Amino acid sequence: MSNQMRIARSLFFAIALAGCVTELKGPPRGYPVELRGLGDSPAYPMKVAGFERGAILAYEPGMKHLSTAYDLRTPEAQIASTIYLVPLESSASPISAQLGREKAAIEQYHPGAVLLEEMEVEISKSGVTYKGLKAAYALDGEFMNRRQRLYSEVMLWIHKDRYVKFRSTAPMAQREMAVLKNRELLNAVNWAF
């Protein structure tokens, strides 16, 4: 597959997932922008845990508010995932309030979405365990060029001066595999730099 096709596919999934982004304020003029020409890196490899890195977007100057898309495409699994790094505002609300905003955005963007579970999660990186929250939904949407029932999850936790948000979508029939592969991706990518 050509590099342009990979970028186009990744942008599609980043835009689809970005439809559920919640922000306290709009992005500065001219943002988001795609960061191009970024090669392989130890923190965000081009290929990792079966996923291929897609678009990296900056939502404001300063490289602190970013998202990185990863897609997994095999005959057995199709998963679109995005890792967001979102700066904490000085008056940042508790993570539970942020999850509430994320859930509201999902439910607004996907009328009829059904909350499957909401739970506390632990994510470990570099010897540190982070406590976070997860919400998972069943919803109908366009994915892989067809309308279908989907499994979609959002996880949030705090690292240093930012929220880390993980969003993922896959066909509902691949729910269990998506949960496992998403954990592999989070373990393999160094979002804690």
Report the C-alpha dihedral over residues 93, 67, 164, 87, rounded to 10 degrees. Answer: -40
Percentage with pLDDT > 70 across the chain:
84
Q: Determine the pLDDT at residue 6.
A: 47
Q: How far apart are CA 191 and CA 51, in angstroms?
A: 15
Q: For the segment 98-134, what is each residue's pLDDT rounded down to a tens digit?
A: 999 999 999 999 999 999 999 999 999 989 999 999 9
**Mean pLDDT (the chain, rounded):** 86
Percentage with pLDDT > 90 across the chain:
63
Q: How far apart are CA 81 and CA 152, in angstroms?
A: 10
Q: For the segment 147-168, what is each residue's pLDDT rounded down to a tens digit?
A: 999 999 999 999 988 999 999 9
Are the beta carbons of 27 and 173 closer than 8 angstroms? no
Q: For the segment 31-62, what is each residue's pLDDT rounded down to a tens digit?
A: 889 988 888 888 899 999 999 999 999 998 88
Q: How far apart are CA 4 and CA 27, in angstroms?
A: 26
- Residue 81: pLDDT band (50, 70, 90) is very high
Whether pTM > 0.85 for this model: the answer is: no
**Is 118 strand, coil or helix?**
strand
Q: Determine the pLDDT at residue 7.
A: 44
CATH topology of domain 3-188: Protein Transport Mog1p; Chain A (3.40.1000)
Average pLDDT over residues 1-18: 46
Among candidates 50, 49, 55, 48, which has minimal Cα distance to 16? 55
Average pLDDT over residues 82-86: 94
Q: What is the pairing mode between strands 114-125 and 128-143?
A: antiparallel
Q: Determine the pLDDT at residue 22.
A: 47
User: Both tokens of residue 5?
Assistant: 């096709």
Q: For the segment 165-187, what is each residue's pLDDT rounded down to a tens digit?
A: 999 999 999 999 999 999 999 99
